[in-house]
A and B are shown apart, each in its own frame.
Chain A
Amino acid sequence: MAGRAVGLAAAALALLALPHVLPAYYLNLTTQILHYAVFAMSLDLLVGYAGLTSLGHGSFFGVATYAVALLNGRGITNLLAVGAVALLAATLFAAAFGLLAIRGSALGFLMITLALGQVLWGLAFRWAALTGGDNGLSGIVRPPLPFGISLQSGAGIYYFTLVAFAACWAVLWLVVRSPFGLVLIGIREQPNRMRALGFHVTAYQYAAFVIAGLFAGVSGVLYTYFNTFVHPTTLTITSSAEALLMVIAGGAGTLAGPVAGAALVVFLKNVVSAYLERWVILLGAIYVIIVLFAPGGLASVWRGAAARWFGRGGDVEPEAAEAEATAWVEAGSRPPE
């Protein structure tokens, strides 16, 4: 535990020092990694904890981006007002979509989230009078902050994103460690047993879906302030699939996994896009390779390699969390076998 605290402090210090050592390009890349990491962590709450694989998580990210852009277009730039409306919009959409999508079948959930996401994309793409259609909405201003803090510089927007990322991490950490998070893990592992124990499985999954939508909204706001431009691409299936790739590449069911996945995907996307235009093929290829050869994500490959080379297992967080969840559940009452 002490080792972990030291590691966390070292990581925090390194992140705080970053603008002083990194060139502008890499600092911007890091900012992007941070806001995508929030997106990926929010999806992981569904995929890795509640056991729901969504192909429409970009919906809530995208709703928040458009909320920010539309308010901006009407002259509303105050961070609190814009943030509150954008997060409320993302949460409400999640609440509505969740009602339709969560109905007990994993594949049904996946298809419905995908279809609903595409409906939303079609709306953003076609309803040009409101959304600017394929031209998108540009000229979004980063909000003025109190105490003369400016978000105009690369370092300013980086620190802003970093603070939001840290806050999201902390809240999500509390969520997954809470009894609620443990019930979610129990549902992922043994939905029928959890139902038999008297847990309202659908209600828990629904709550997770809405919370995930809220945090996807946070990442949408951060994204929009960073790019100062929104386009229907934020709502495409590719956007949802990238987020899902971050989760499964990094390893679902941990908070660090999606962050590592976000770093990998953002880095690859930028590097590849600089040299050739075939990012989508690579995205597809990584999916195929991970599914066929590394179903546990890169974390599991790393753990396996570490075990082979150093004779130890490395990070055992997910298994520990599972054991904890089982213990907690079994302590309540024992299901008849």
Chain B
Amino acid sequence: MQFWLIQTMNGMAFGSLLFLLASGFSLIFGLMRIVNLTHGAYFLLGAYIGLTVVVRTGSFWLAVAAAGVAVATVGVLIERFLLRRLHGRALPQVLLTLGLAFIIADGVLWVWGGDPRPIPAPPFLSGSFTLAGATFPAYRAFLFLLGLAVALLLWLLQERTRLGAMIRAGVDDQEVARAMGIPVHRIFTLVFALGAFLAALGGILGGPILGAYPGLDGDVLPLALVVVILGGLGSLGGALLGSFIIGFLHNFGQALFPDFAYFTLFLPMVLILAFRPSGLFGRW
């Protein structure tokens, strides 16, 4: 029983990390029709920048902020100066983000070296607590709650703010949105920055669980892809549900059949593609 409870908590915590990654990915696709393959690299870069800051300053929260802001800046530069030149041409954009993903990942390997590096959890979250007779690691519970909080904030942003209304207008019909005077290009940049920020947050917040290692980007990007294939591209609710399903399955897969950890993702993907190709909440 203890095993199942703890694994469930771990799965939910991992699901939260996936949500940080997949929500931005999904939002960027929904608005800009860009399959941003650099997203895994943002996660990786966030983890390593956070690592450096936490080692230098000892403050985990400063590391989170620094990683988020730095990677969001990288995202803005990429969107503003590279992706925009290929506006509306989906395939060249994907190939560009693929090339940039290689550059960032190998650059990280160059700067930080190839050894896996652990990232310590902030002291007051590094313990555990007891609930209903089972002992849970505090940091994982924190991640789970944080994932829910971010989901709530994103939902409020999208549904209850002026900016959110403009984003939704852009998703629905870009031409009309532009004709109504909505600064679509500025919103593109903003959403891209938000996506990069969330991915970097996932990287550093995931640090105490996953650590920072070369290849982290390649490990998480496919998970995010499976999440959006499952949940439906461009849907926040789909990303949330998909993240928790995949986080849960991946975690149990790793605990029970480590040899086939990735294979546990295959089945839900096949089922969804066979029976509901646009995903649980998809509209495309």
Chain A residues, CB < 8 A from B90: 106-107
Q: Is A228 an interface residue (CB 8 A)?
A: no
Contact call B99/A284, Cβ cutoff below 8 A: yes
Closest to A248 in B: B95
Q: Is B82 an interface residue (CB 8 A)?
A: yes
- Tier of interface size on chain A: 35 or more
The 8 residue pairs across chains A and B that have the minimum distance between CB atoms: A122-B262, A287-B99, A284-B102, A118-B222, A284-B103, A280-B106, A288-B99, A281-B106
**Minimal beta-carbon separation of A141 from chain B (angstroms):** 27
The stretch that binds B, out of A24-32, A123-131, A171-179, A193-201, is A123-131
Q: Is A291 an interface residue (CB 8 A)?
A: yes
Q: Is A214 an interface residue (CB 8 A)?
A: no
Chain B: interface secondary structure?
helix
Beyond A115-B222, A122-B263, A278-B110, is A284–B258 a contact (Cβ under 8 Å)?
no
A295 to B89 alpha-carbon distance, docked (Å) = 11
A290 to B218 alpha-carbon distance, docked (Å) = 23
Contact call B35/A107, Cβ cutoff below 8 A: yes
Contact call B265/A126, Cβ cutoff below 8 A: no
Q: Among residues 59 to 108 in chain B, which have CB atoms less than 8 Å away from a CB atom of chain A?
A: 82, 85-86, 90-92, 94-96, 98-107
Contact call A119/B266, Cβ cutoff below 8 A: yes
Contact call A114/B102, Cβ cutoff below 8 A: no
Chain B residues, CB < 8 A from A119: 222, 262-263, 265-266, 269
Contact call B269/A115, Cβ cutoff below 8 A: yes
Q: Is A292 an interface residue (CB 8 A)?
A: yes
Most chain B CB neighbours (cut-off 10 Å) among A108, A118, A291: A291
Chain A interface (Cβ within 8 Å of chain B)? Answer: 53, 55, 100, 103, 105-108, 110-112, 114-116, 118-119, 121-123, 126-129, 236-238, 241, 244, 248, 278, 280-281, 283-288, 290-292, 295
* Choice from B99, B221, B269, B274 contacting A286 with Cβ under 8 Å: B99
Closest to A115 in B: B225
Contact call B106/A284, Cβ cutoff below 8 A: yes
Beyond A107-B90, A112-B229, A119-B266, is A288–B260 a contact (Cβ under 8 Å)?
no
A108 to B258 alpha-carbon distance, docked (Å) = 29
Contact call B259/A128, Cβ cutoff below 8 A: yes
Contact call A118/B218, Cβ cutoff below 8 A: yes
A144 to B238 alpha-carbon distance, docked (Å) = 55
Query: Can you report 13 residue pairs joining A to B where beta carbons are below 8 Å apart?
Result: A53-B95, A107-B35, A110-B94, A112-B269, A126-B258, A129-B259, A237-B218, A280-B105, A281-B102, A287-B95, A288-B96, A288-B99, A292-B86
Q: Is B261 an interface residue (CB 8 A)?
A: yes
- Tier of interface size on chain B: 35 or more
Q: Is B273 an interface residue (CB 8 A)?
A: yes
A284 to B15 alpha-carbon distance, docked (Å) = 30
Contact call B263/A123, Cβ cutoff below 8 A: yes
Chain B residues, CB < 8 A from A283: 99, 102
Q: A119-B266, A123-B263, A127-B260 are in contact. List 20 more A-B contacts (CB 8 A).
A: A53-B95, A100-B273, A100-B274, A107-B33, A112-B229, A112-B269, A114-B222, A114-B225, A115-B265, A118-B221, A122-B261, A122-B262, A126-B262, A244-B95, A285-B99, A287-B95, A287-B96, A288-B82, A291-B92, A292-B85
Chain B residues, CB < 8 A from A241: 98, 102
Contact call A123/B95, Cβ cutoff below 8 A: no
Q: Is B149 an interface residue (CB 8 A)?
A: no
Q: Is B280 an interface residue (CB 8 A)?
A: no
**Minimal beta-carbon separation of B118 from chain A (angstroms):** 20
Closest to A130 in B: B259
A121 to B219 alpha-carbon distance, docked (Å) = 10
Q: Is B4 an interface residue (CB 8 A)?
A: no
Beyond A115-B226, A119-B222, A123-B262, is A284–B101 a contact (Cβ under 8 Å)?
yes
Closest to A114 in B: B225
**Minimal beta-carbon separation of B87 from chain A (angstroms):** 13
Contact call A280/B258, Cβ cutoff below 8 A: no
A286 to B109 alpha-carbon distance, docked (Å) = 19
Contact call B82/A292, Cβ cutoff below 8 A: yes
A158 to B101 alpha-carbon distance, docked (Å) = 35
Contact call A287/B98, Cβ cutoff below 8 A: yes
Chain B residues, CB < 8 A from A111: 35, 225, 228-229
Contact call B99/A278, Cβ cutoff below 8 A: no
**Minimal beta-carbon separation of B242 from chain A (angstroms):** 12
Beyond A115-B226, A129-B259, A286-B99, is A103–B266 a contact (Cβ under 8 Å)?
no
Q: Is B208 an interface residue (CB 8 A)?
A: no
Closest to A279 in B: B106
Q: Is B284 an interface residue (CB 8 A)?
A: yes
Chain A residues, CB < 8 A from B221: 118
Beyond A118-B218, A126-B259, A126-B260, is A291–B273 a contact (Cβ under 8 Å)?
no
Contact call A285/B103, Cβ cutoff below 8 A: yes
Contact call A106/B263, Cβ cutoff below 8 A: no
**Minimal beta-carbon separation of A249 from chain B (angstroms):** 11
Q: Is B277 an interface residue (CB 8 A)?
A: yes
Contact call A281/B98, Cβ cutoff below 8 A: no
Chain A residues, CB < 8 A from B284: 105, 108
A285 to B277 alpha-carbon distance, docked (Å) = 34
Q: Is B270 an interface residue (CB 8 A)?
A: yes
A248 to B91 alpha-carbon distance, docked (Å) = 12
A288 to B95 alpha-carbon distance, docked (Å) = 8
**Minimal beta-carbon separation of B58 from chain A (angstroms):** 32
